[in-house]
Copies of this chain bind each other. A is one copy, B any other.
Amino acid sequence: MATQQLTKNQSLVLDALHHAEGPLSAYTILDKLRDHGFRAPLQVYRALDKLLEFGLIHRLESMNSFVACAHPDHHHHHDHGVTAFAICEDCGQVTEMHDEAMEERLSVLAGKQHFKTEKTTIEIRGHCQNCTAE
Contact = CB atoms under 8 A, between A and B. Distances in A.
Interface of A: 61-62, 84, 86, 88-89, 95, 97, 99, 101-102, 105-106, 109-110, 112-129, 132
Contacts of A126: 110, 115-119
Contacts of A101: 105
A129 B114 contact: yes
A34 to B, nearest CB: 27
Contact of A121 (B99, B122, B127, B132): B122
Contact of A99 (B105, B117, B119, B125): B105
23 contacts: A61-B121, A62-B121, A86-B110, A86-B113, A88-B115, A89-B118, A97-B112, A99-B105, A101-B105, A102-B102, A105-B105, A110-B124, A110-B126, A113-B129, A114-B129, A115-B127, A116-B126, A116-B132, A118-B125, A118-B127, A119-B124, A119-B125, A120-B125
